[in-house]
Amino acid sequence: MRICRFNDPEKNDAALTEDQIDKLPPGQGIKARELKGWLKKNELRKAARAGMPGVKEYKFTFPPPPFPKPPLRPSKGKFLRWSVSGINALNANAWLRQHNHGWEYREKYLELIFTEVQALTFKTFGAHAGRTQLDYLTEDLCMDPSHSLKQFFRLITAHSEAQPYYPQIANDSEVGSSFHDDRKIQIVWNAGFDRFKDKLTTLGISRRDDLKGRFENCTQKFLLAEQHRNAKEAKASTPSKSTQGAGKASKGKQGGGTGKQSQGGKKDKFYGACSFCGVKGHRSSDCFKNPKSNSYSKPKNPQTDQQSKKRKFSGGGKKLPYDEWKKQKEYEQYCLENGDDDSSFLEE
């Protein structure tokens, strides 16, 4: 309604530059700046509506005509059915849309609607719901063990973004506005410090003041402490190498080798022939048929020279692994097939 009371000379003042408006009398300059801002928003609206299909051309006269008074009861064909069931907001919206410059009061109109919806929403929780939320998050909240810190920080951000929708309280600037860094740090510290106390102390954080009032620093330190704790728990749950190899037998001195061969864990290859049985590929000290060797095994039937299938070895009565036994048998067969070479000089 203020715009409707402007006149043409004041419109000319609004067309001046900022330096020229500064030279006008104080009251005249204030009106010029107010009208200049209104005309600028009006031109933006005209440009946005131009050429849009289904939208009528935007025209206005200066000064714009005043708004008509709202009707006491709806006119036929202009409003929705008049009732007290919440449809009155749409009636006011339709009344604003009748005027070319109803857009100017859009923000005020939405603010009034928000105020009414807010009063209905917090009717059950009370006018002090914002302070109650802050006190709960700061004093009574404990971090859920199943939550990761990233999830916990997202929840705090969500509560911070929801705080402006709570009813404001007089003389309490924190209620009805997003959380500041000190409040976020206080919530995180009280809810999660006990869980990461050891790791935070290792990082040099033993007091809340060590975070220097920066929420970014708080998130970095807590995430680093969580990473160290998870790594420690993963290491504790995984058996060490010494535990894994405790039940395995030593590979040294298998098959009745000498002391030097046992220390290396592997026997040196021997290409000569056995002086006892004449078979190439092993020494007489390793021969199963030589009674003086460590690997000698008596046959089951003394009348025959047939050796028992179940051989006993000097390595604590344990059998050779199947893979090693198979390789040894293949090598013996290879030596028998290639028995022309005279390699007796390699024998002990």
Q: What is the mean pLDDT of residues 273-300?
A: 76
Secondary structure element (H or E) that encloses residue 20, with its range: helix 18-22
User: What mean pLDDT is predicted for residues 86-109?
Assistant: 67
Q: Can you tell me the distance from the alpha carbon of 194 to that of 182, in angstroms, rounded to the nearest whole number?
A: 19
| AA letter at 146 | S
Return the pLDDT at 314. 46
**Do 281 and 271 meet the contact criterion of CB atoms below 8 Å apart?**
yes
pLDDT in tens, 42-71: 888 888 878 888 777 777 778 877 776 665
- Between CA 246 and CA 269 the distance in angstroms is 29
- Which 8-state DSSP code applies to residue 172? B
- Residue 285's contacts (CB-CB under 8 Å, 6 or more residues apart) are 256, 258, 292, 293, 294, 348
Instruction: Please say whether the beta carbons of 13 and 31 come within 8 A.
Output: yes
Strand partners, 280: 273
**Structure token digits, residue 184:** 């976020």
Size of the chain in residues: 348
Range name among 9-23, 68-82, 253-267 with the lowest pLDDT average:
253-267
pLDDT tens track for 112-169: 888 888 888 898 888 889 999 899 999 888 888 778 888 899 999 999 999 999 988 8
Encoded amino acid at 201, one letter = T
**Residue-by-residue DSSP string for 25-65:** -HHHHHHHHHHHHHHHHHHHHHHHHTT-TT-------SSPP
**Res 160: pLDDT:** 92
- Each domain of the chain, given as residue ranges in start order, spans 3-49, 88-121, 129-236, 268-348
CA dist., res. 345 & res. 49, Å (int): 108
CA angle (73 as vertex; 67, 76 as ends), nearest 5: 90
Packing angle of the helix pair 106-121, 88-97 (nearest 10 deg): 170
- Pick from 223, 220, 186, 225: which is nearest to 203 by CA? 225
Closest alpha carbon to 18 in 2, 4, 36, 40: 36
Residue 172's DSSP bridge partners are: 169
pLDDT tier for residue 85 given thresholds of 50, 70 and 90: very low
pLDDT confidence of residue 98:
65
Question: For residue range 166-198, what is the model confidence (pLDDT) as tens digits?
Answer: 988 888 888 888 998 899 999 998 888 888 888
Q: What is the mean pLDDT of residues 80-98?
A: 57
In the prediction, which pLDDT does 331 show? 81
pTM, rounded to two decimals: 0.47
CA distances from 242 to 233, 248, 249, 316, 319 (A): 19, 10, 13, 22, 24
Contact 82, 91 (CB under 8 A): yes
* pLDDT at residue number 267: 53
User: Who has greater pLDDT, 298 or 261?
Assistant: 298
Q: What is the DSSP string of 105-139?
A: GHHHHHHHHHHHHHHHHTTTT-TTHHHHHHHIIII
